[in-house]
Amino acid sequence: MSMTLILWKAPVVSEPDDAKALLTPWYVNGDESAFQPCSELGILRDQLIRIYPLEPAADPTNPWADGPEGSDRLLTLSLRWGVESAILADVVALARKLELVLYDPQGPDIFLHTDPLEELTAIPPPTIFEWFKAVAIPAALIALALIAWKIPIGWLRWPTVFFFGFFAAAGLFVLSLLIANRIGLINVDQQP
């Protein structure tokens, strides 16, 4: 089993359906005339082969199913399923750098060099339900610790109180981080 990624320079399309329609003549009879020739595809192919050499298929670390194939108009990358994410990140980074269109027909999805990186790395703000959970879980654990405090058998009471108290403290810590982020004391979106 393998996955295929397809790259080209122009025409630039932003919708997966448009890319599929553009590739239909190529799928049917190998016609690449819809794509403009460019040297960037050769650069990308050479860079990937330099970083990830075409090793024998029996090598489990080899990411290539069949290797990169194509012309100066269209390049296909046939990768093994379950391949390390490093090669996928490198393909996306090189495609962005060389201003190539990257099409993933399995998704289907399109990656353009103009796509903002923030969408890929931004952490969404907590929802109302997440706030509710952040308050309800520690409250329930505190209530269970207080109930455990009433157990008349000491050897059972102390471990139970400790167990529920520990997780209640962890829940309160998470809640305090959410509050600190909300009021601006910390910022979880900042990169180190």
pLDDT of 192 reads 47
- Residue 175: helix, strand or coil by DSSP? helix
Query: Which amino acid makes up residue 108?
Result: P
Residues 6+ apart with CB under 8 A from 184: none
Whether residues 169 and 94 share a domain: the answer is: no
Residue 189 lies in a domain: no
The terminus-to-terminus CA distance of the chain in angstroms comes to: 38
Task: Compute the average pLDDT of residues 108-134.
Answer: 78
Do residues 112 and 136 both lie within one domain? no
Quick check: 56 and 20 in contact, CB under 8 A?
no
Residues 16, 66, single domain; the answer is: yes
Contacts of 129 (CB under 8 A, 6+ apart): none
**Residue 99 and residue 129 in one domain:** no
Half-sphere CA count of 53, side-chain side, radius 13 A? 3
Does residue 123 register a pLDDT over 80? no
- Picking from 120, 146, 163, the residue at the C-terminal end of a domain is 120
Tokens of 17: 């359906």
Residue 190 lies in a domain: no
Whether residue 31 contacts residue 45, with contact meaning beta carbons closer than 8 Å, is answered with no
Rounded to two decimals, the pTM is: 0.59
The answer to whether the beta carbons of residues 5 and 36 sit under 8 Å apart is no
Note every long-range contact of 27-35, with CB atoms under 8 Å and residues 24 or more positions apart, other chains counting: 32/71, 32/73, 32/74, 33/73, 35/8, 35/9, 35/10, 35/11, 35/73, 35/74
Domain that holds residue 136: 123-183
- Domain co-membership, 111 together with 174: no
Total domains, the chain: 2
Structural domain contains residue 188: no
* Whether residue 26 is found in the same domain as residue 86: yes
Residues 30 and 98 both lie in one domain = yes
9 and 102 belong to one structural domain: yes
Q: Identify whether 192 is part of a domain.
A: no
Q: Domain boundary residue among 81, 101, 120?
A: 120
Say whether both 114 and 137 belong to one domain: no
Cα separation, 118 vs 97, in Å, equals 16
Do residues 74 and 143 both lie within one domain? no
Task: State the CATH number of the domain containing residue 80.
Answer: 3.30.310
Q: Please report, to the nearest 10 degrees, the dihedral formed by the alpha carbons of residues 90, 93, 96, 100 taken in order.
A: 0
The string of pLDDT tens digits covering residues 56-66 is 656 667 788 88
pLDDT tens column, 28-56: 998 898 999 999 999 999 998 888 888 76
- Which of 74, 91, 120 is a domain's end point? 120
Which residues are paired to 4 by β-bridges? 78
Q: CA triplet 100, 115, 22: central angle to 5 degrees?
A: 50
Q: Is 116 domain-assigned? A: yes
Query: Does the pLDDT at position 149 exceed 60?
Result: yes
